[in-house]
Structure 1
Amino acid sequence: MERQRRSFTEEYKRQAVELVVSSRRSVASVAKEFGLRDSVLRRWVDKLRQEPASAAWRPTTQATPMSADQASEIARLRQENERLRMERDILKKSIANLCRNPDMSFRFIEDHRDSYPVRLMCAVLEVSPAGYYAWRERPVSERTKSNATLLAAIRQAHRASRGRYASPRVHAVLRRQGRGASRGRIERMMRRHGIRAITAPPRRVRTTDSRHDLPIALNLIARDFTAEAPNRVWLADITYIPTAEGWLYLAAVMDLFSRKIVGWAMRDHMQVELASAALTMAIQQQRPQAGLIHHSDRGVQYASHAYRDTLTGAGIAASMSRKADCYDNAPMESFFHPLKTELVHHRDYKTRAEAQRDIFAFIEGFYNRTRLHSAIGYITPIEMELKAA
C-alpha cells in the first residue's frame, strides 16, 4: 500500500490548536504526540490566532492582588491540607495489605518513599524510623531485586497509559521491551500493589433511531470482522458524552483492518450532518479506492439521502446491521468502551469545548498512535497500517 500524504479537516486543525492553547504545552510536544511536523502545527496556531472572533486568544483578566497576610494564611492552609492529604493517602493505600505486620509496613514505606516523607509514614503506620532503616540495610535477595525491577517497569507502563492498561496490555508492553515475565506474575504484582486500570459503570442514551421509511442496506459483512488490508471495511457509529452544558455527540468511523479511527466529528446534536462530517473526514484522510464496504446500524443518519449520496460518490458500498442487533457492529465497542471507561467517566466536563479537546487528544494522540490493541496482536493502529504499506 502506497503511503499517502496526510490531509486534515478544519475541525482537526482547530482541535489541535486549542489543545496547545488550553494545556499551555509547547508546539513541539503536541506535534510529536499527534505525529505532526512542528512547522505544520505552528502554522495552524499562527493562522487561528489571527481570527478576531476566537475566544481562545482573549487574554485572561488578572485577579486583584491579595495582601501579605492573606497570602501567608493561604500558604499555611495549603501546607496543612497537603499533610492531611498525605496521611489519608498513606492509610488508604496501606490498610488492605499491612495488617500491622512490620515487614509489610516497611515494604510499603520503601515503595512510597518518593511520594511521602519517611517519618510521616512511620508515624501513621506506628513503626519506628530506626526499625525501617535497619530493615533497609538487610541483604536483598535476587528474587526481591527482580520483583523491584519488574514492579518499576509495571508502574512505568501503567503510568504511560495514564492508568488505562490492565495486566494484559501491561504484559504486552513489557514483552515489547524484551522482558520475560509471565502475564500471571504481572497480574499478581499489580493486584498486590493496587495497580488497576481505571474503569466506570456504563451509562446509556439512545443514539439509534431506526423508525423511518428510508432504504435499508443489506448486511454485507455478516459479523465477519476481518479485513485483508486497510480501507476494505469501515465501521461507523455514534455515542454521547455528558457535559454541564448538555450532551456532546461523537460520530466515528473505524477501519476494521487496523482498528484506526479514520474519521470523527463532535456536535451538540445527532443530525445527519454529524455523521456526514465524520465520513467526510475519513474519505479526505484515507482516500479509499472504490469497493470499500461501509457498515453501520440502521439509524436515520446513515440511511439518509445525504449520507448515501456521499457513499455513492466515493464508490463505497453501504452495509447495515440487522434491526436492534448491536453485535452486528461489535468492533466499534472496542473504541467506545475504552473511551468511556478510560477517559469520559473520570472527567467532569463543564463545557462541550472542554470535552472536545479531551476526546480529540484521546483519539489522535492515544488511541490511534499509542494504545495497544488485542485484536491486532497488541500493536497500535498506526503500526498495523504501516505493516500493510
Structure 2
Amino acid sequence: MYSKEEREKAIKLYIKYGKCGADVIRELGYPDRKTLVKWYRTYLEKGVLFEQYPRSSTYSLEQKKTAVDYYLEHGRNLSRTIRALGYPSRETLRSWCKELVPGFCNKHISGIKVNKEQKKEVRFEQYTRTDIVKDVAKKYVITQEKSYNWKKELFLGSEHIAMDKGKNKSQPPDDRDTLLSEIEALKRQIKRLKLEKDILEPTVEIIKKDPGVDPKNLTNREKVELVDALRDKYSLKELLDCLKLARSSYFYRRKIALLPDKYEKLRHHIKRLFDENYGCYGYRRIHALLVREGICVSEKIVRRIMAECDLVVVRKKRRYNAYKGEKAPAAENLIRRDFYAEAPNVKWITDITEFSIPAGKVYLSPIIDCFDGLVVSWSISSRPDAELVNSMLDRAIETLKEGEHPIIHSDRCGHYRWPGWVLRVAKAGLRQSMSRKACPQDNAACEGFFGLIKNEMFYNRSWKGVSIR
C-alpha cells in the first residue's frame, strides 16, 4: 500500500515526463503502469491528487451486544435490526450471533407451541368439516401438512408417520426429468474418462513419457503437442480444461512454433562438427571448437541443441565389476595360494565369470573342489545377483556329508559379503576365506578353470543367432 506522498510524487513525475510511465517506474521503482494510469485518471476526475479514504470503524463489544440483543428481542429478523440500528451488514450480524449466542446455528425456534387439547380440537374440526383445512390451519397458526399428520396419528400412530417420512426420503426419485439429468451427468462423466484415457496414449507415443506420468505435470510445449494430436476428436475447450492449460498459453506456444528457428545455421554447424570428430565429442568439446572458430554462444545452448538432435556420444561398454566396496569386514585368507587338498570337500574355490555374446551377457558361478578339480555345483544367469551365488551354495551344501566343513575361498566381491551368503556359510559350518584386494593370483585355480573352459568351448566360435536363453 502506497502512502499519499508516494502517490503524489508519482503523479507529478508522470505529468512532468509527458505521461511516460516507463520513465516514472524506472526512477521510482513503483508502481506498475496500470496503477499509475489509474492514479492519473482519478486526479483528472476529482481535481486533486488524492483524498484520504475514510476507513471503516471497528465495532466495540458493547455495540456487538446491543445489535445481538435487539435481534433476539425483536423477532430474530436481520433486516429489521439493521434498519433500526444502522449497522452492521447481514453477514457481520450473523457472525456476531454465532459468536455471542451459544447454539445459534443448531437451535430450532418453533413458531407456536400447541398443547394436546388444541390437537384434539383440530382433529375434531377436520372430521366434522365445520371449516376447510386451510381455515383450520390458519386459525391455530399451523401448517396444513401438520394438521394432516395429526389426523393420521389419531388412527395410524406416530410410529407409522415416522416410517412414512423415512420411506419417502430413502425412495429414489420418480421424476422423469431428474432421471434424465442423472443420465446426462453419467454420459458426461464417461466422456471425461474417455478423454483422459485418450490423452495418456499420445503421452507415451508422441512425447515418449512413462505410462504412469500425469499429463497435468507436462510442460506447456508438450501439452500443446497433445492438444494438436487430439483436436480431431475433441473440442479445444475440453482438451485445455483436462490438461489445465490456459487458452492464451496454448496460442502463444502455437505462435512460437511457427517462428523460424534462429539456431538453424548453428544446428547444422554443430552436427557437422560432431560428425567430423566421429561422434566422440560432447557438448563441452563442441563448445570449445565453436569458440575457437569465433562463434560466441552459450554452452547451455550447445547442450540443448545436441539433445534435440540426439547427438549423444557412444561410450564403450564397461566390463562388469562385482566389487562393491568394503561394506563388511573381509574374511582372512586361509588358502594362501595353497590349492592342494588331501581329500575331497576340504578346500572349495568359487568366483563369477562373464560370457559376452551378441544376444547379451551370461554369468557363470561354479564351486570347484581343489582335490580333483571337480565342479561341485554351479549356476548360470543373465544377471549377476545374489540369487546366482546363493542357489549355487545351497546345492553345494546338500552334497556334504556329516562332519565335512570345507574352506570356501573367493575374492572380495560384494556377493560374498551379503547377509544371505554369510548366513548360509555360518549355518553350514563352512570356513570363509577371501583373497586380497585387487589380487587375482590369490584365486588362481578358479581363474585357470575359467580360462580353460573359455578356450575349449567359447573362444574362436561364432555366437550370432544364439539366444541367451
| Shorter-chain TM band | 0.3 to 0.5
* Relative contact order higher in (CA < 8 Å, ≥ 6 apart): 1
TM-score for both structures, normalised by structure 1:
0.37
